[in-house]
C-alpha cells in the first residue's frame, strides 16, 4: 500500500470513529435528557418516532428496529402499560398493528421538541454554509451506504 492509499484508509477510519462518537453522544443525550426526564428508553422513543408517521405491524416494527419478536413484544407490552401505544387488530385478524394513543402522540411531540432544541444548539456551532455542506455530505454518505452493492460487500466481508 502506498502513502496515498494509507492516508485515505486512515482518513476513512477517522470518519468512522467520528460518526460512531456522534452517535454515542446523541444516544447519551437521549438517555440523559429525554429518558431520565420522561422515564423512557431509547428503544421506546424509537418506536414512538417510527409509528408517529403511520401505524405499523409488530413484525415490521421489530424488523425496523433490528430486534427479535420476543424483544419487540416485551417493548410494546411496557409501552402499552405506560399508555403510549395500543394494539389494534388489522383486517387480517392474525396481524396486530401498533399505533400511538392520544397520550403517546402528546408525549412524542413533547420529547421531539426537546431533541430538536438539543440539535439546534449543536448545529448552531456551524455556519449556514457548513450546515448545508454537512447535510449534503451526510445524505451522499447515506445514499452510498444504501446502494445494494456497497451493503452486500460490507456484509460479505464481515462474514469472512
Report yes or no on 72 lying in a domain: yes
Q: What is the pLDDT of residues 5-23, one digit of tens each?
A: 898 899 999 999 999 999 8
37 with 91, same domain? yes
Which cell numbers in the block locate residue 107? 408525549
Q: What would the grid cell of residue 4 be? A: 496515498
Q: Both 30 and 49 in a single domain?
A: yes
Answer yes or no: is 43 within a domain: yes
3-state SS assignment for residue 153: helix
**Distance from C-alpha of 20 to C-alpha of 152, rounded to nearest angstrom:** 21
CA-based torsion, 119, 121, 127, 128: positive or negative: positive
What average pLDDT does this structure show over 103-119?
Answer: 90
Rounded CA-CA distance 55/150 in Å is 31
Could you give the 3-state DSSP secondary structure of residue 57? strand
Do 106 and 132 belong together in one domain?
Answer: no
What is the pLDDT of the chain when averaged over all its residues?
87
Does residue 5 fall inside a structural domain?
Answer: no
Same structural domain, 17 and 84: yes
Res 108 pLDDT > 90: yes
Q: What is the model's pTM?
A: 0.73
Q: List CB contacts of 158: < 8 A, sequence separation 6 or more.
A: none
Residue 101 maps to which CATH number? Answer: 1.10.10.10
Amino acid at each position: 500500500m502506498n502513502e496515498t492509499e494509507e492516508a485515505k484508509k486512515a482518513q476513512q477510519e477517522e470518519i468512522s470513529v467520528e460518526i460512531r462518537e456522534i452517535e454515542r453522544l446523541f444516544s447519551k443525550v437521549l438517555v440523559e435528557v429525554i429518558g431520565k426526564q420522561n422515564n423512557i428508553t431509547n428503544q421506546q422513543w424509537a418506536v414512538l418516532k417510527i409509528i408517529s408517521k403511520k401505524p405499523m405491524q409488530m413484525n415490521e416494527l421489530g424488523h425496523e428496529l433490528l430486534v427479535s419478536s420476543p424483544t419487540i413484544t416485551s417493548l410494546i407490552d411496557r409501552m402499552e402499560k405506560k399508555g403510549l401505544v395500543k394494539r389494534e387488530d388489522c383486517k387480517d385478524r392474525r396481524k396486530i398493528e401498533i399505533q400511538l394513543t392520544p397520550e403517546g402522540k402528546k408525549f412524542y411531540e413533547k420529547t421531539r421538541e426537546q431533541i430538536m432544541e438539543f440539535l439546534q444548539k449543536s448545529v448552531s456551532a456551524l455556519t449556514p454554509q457548513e450546515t448545508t455542506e454537512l447535510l449534503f455530505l451526510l445524505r451522499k454518505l447515506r445514499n452510498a451506504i444504501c446502494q445494494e452493492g456497497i451493503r452486500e460487500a460490507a456484509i460479505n466481508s464481515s462474514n469472512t
